[in-house]
Structure 1
Amino acid sequence: MREDHAVTDEDTPAAGSRAARARAVLGDAARRARELDRSEGLRAAVQRVRRALPGDAHFGDPLSLGGAKHAEFVGRAVVDLTGDRPGVTREVSLGGLQLWQAVLERFGGGAGEREVALVFTDLVEFSRWALQAGDDEVQRVLREVSEAWEKPVTDRAGTVVKRLGDGMMAAFADPVEALEAVFAARTRLADVHADGWTPRMRAGLHLGRPRRVGGDYLGVAVNTAARLGDRAGPGEILVSGELLARLDEASLRVRRKRWHTRLKGTPEDLQIFSVDRPS
């Protein structure tokens, strides 16, 4: 028995040819888009623009994405989608979020209500030593370091916000107590011993109004304290001018620090000082 089939446009050779051409055009467009996204020259140009924009040009690194909402939440989504494939799309997206975060901070949407003394500490050259020390020794040292650092924080009404591998972020209501805790932590660290390496601490302190999100703090104030900690030398404690203004300078040895370039992601007028106990 014969069955008749209706002939549609899609069944004709001409329609098949048009579909094939459309697929080819779309495939070529996708290929060109991927090539554009991978362009090192274009990505470098976008990065230069990001450095000129307000806000933290490092937005997108783990430090800047620790929050639970707003720009940090979307930023984590961008990083997750792009994975470890840096490209133009990723840089443009993070640049937009960087600008968004800066606007929030500028107009108060990103600032908290209370002043907080923020502290970042870490161990100098820990990663290099850890590569040779082995997991058991590394874990033992980190436990002892944690005990050495965290007790002075809690003893002075501070809060350990989070542990950062070989470092720590803490928050205090009182800047004086924050600095005293750092001095005590550095002293206690001298009792921690490791084979083939001498644990040394560096620290950065800043006073600001970060946003409180859950148990974490976010914003320019956090970035500033963290960058100060990154720039400090072995055994050195760097503080911002805002925090130093709340301390008794007569009881400290204070030295102004000047660099040709300012720290990324920090206020343009940031003043930095190295502080220590008198000799």
Structure 2
Amino acid sequence: MADEDATQGAAPRSQRAREALGRAGRRARELDRSEGLRTAVQRVRRALPGDAHFGDPLSLGGARHAEFAGRAVVGLTGDRPGVTREVGLGGLQLWQAVLERFGGGTGDREIVLVFTDLVEFSRWALEAGDDEVQRVLRAVSEAWETPMTDRAGTVVKRLGDGLMAAFADPAAALEAVFAARDRLAGVQVAGWTPRMRAGLHLGRPRRVGGDYLGVAVNTAARLGDRAGAGEVLVSGDLLGRLDEASLSVRRKRWHTKLKGTPEDLQIFAVDRP
């Protein structure tokens, strides 16, 4: 009789424990799905050092510890946006920033990064219509990419009316840009001749999947953004690896620093003499 009473007493206790665990689990899921809390964590992430977008497919394509751990966090949380996921990725974001700070996030070899795009393309595209835009982009792609690949360059990605390429050889990178500009001069669609601008920088970007990340990438992109129609801007780091005597070189100076670039960045406009 005593054994039966003990069994009956244990059953309610076990049931109560399961119910308590169930309530705790539901509460934890509710907190994880809290839009307000998740937004607060995202704001904190934006204020932290490192890449606040760490966790997207591009940032997780590498083989370093931070990327591996990031893939694990994403795998455990699936595609569900939540507080747990943001907190986990925020911690890895800090870890990655520390690696970048002490050199663990840089690449192991120097690469010339090239950014090109079309000047005033968006304004022209608004009036030209989709068919003409597609014709221009196809013609531009063929004009640009062949000189790049012919000189052992890699087209990393296409960026609408531009592209990003990578080269091992500085001289080949610059010659490819000049050749691309020459070929583009022969393109005309609906009475419009597209004109390109380009930025080149030598650095040690970090390889992430099929892309590159880091200050070197930002620097090349900012140079491309600042260049004028038909202009090619290069960093002082890259100019030092080129035969300056064979080029027309002009120092460029601006009152404001280019965002996301090194403090000591020197910028030059280069062309054939």
Please name the residue that 1:149 is paired with.
Answer: 144
Q: 1:218 aligns with which of 199, 212, 216?
A: 212
CA RMSD across the alignment: 4.2
Give secondary structure in 2 for the equivalent of 1:252.
strand
Please name the residue that 1:26 is paired with.
Answer: 25
Unaligned runs of 5+ in 1: 1-6
Deviation at 1:237, TM superposition (A): 3.6
**Per-residue Cα deviation, 1:108-146 (whole angstroms, up to 9, x for no partner):** 544444322111223456578389733x55543333112
Please name the residue that 1:262 is paired with.
Answer: 259
**Percent identity of the aligned residues?**
49
Please name the residue that 1:4 is paired with.
Answer: none
Matched, 1:65 2:59: yes
After superposition, where does 1:52-131 map in structure 2 within 5 Å?
A: 53=49, 55-56=50-51, 59-60=54-55, 65=59, 67-70=61-64, 71-72=66-67, 74-75=69-70, 83=79, 85=81, 89-124=84-119, 129=125
TM-score under structure 2 normalisation? 0.70
TM-score under structure 1 normalisation? 0.68
The 1:173/1:24 distance shift into structure 2, 3 A limit, reads closer
Q: 2:238 aligns with which of 231, 243, 257?
A: 243
Q: State the AA in 2 paired with 1:30.
A: R
Deviation at 1:31, TM superposition (A): 1.2
Unaligned runs of 5+ in 2: 1-6
Give secondary structure in 2 for the equivalent of 1:204.
strand
Please name the residue that 1:46 is paired with.
Answer: 45
Aligned length: 261
Q: 2:204 aligns with which of 209, 220, 223?
A: 209
Q: Check whether the contact 1:130–1:138 (CA below 8 A) recurs between aligned residues.
A: no
Deviation at 1:148, TM superposition (A): 0.9
Please name the residue that 1:273 is paired with.
Answer: 267
Q: 2:183 aligns with which of 179, 188, 199?
A: 188
Stretch moving more, 220-229 or 235-244: 220-229
The 1:244/1:82 distance shift into structure 2, 3 A limit, reads farther
The 1:74/1:133 distance shift into structure 2, 3 A limit, reads farther
Q: Check whether the contact 2:148–2:155 (CA below 8 A) recurs between aligned residues.
A: no
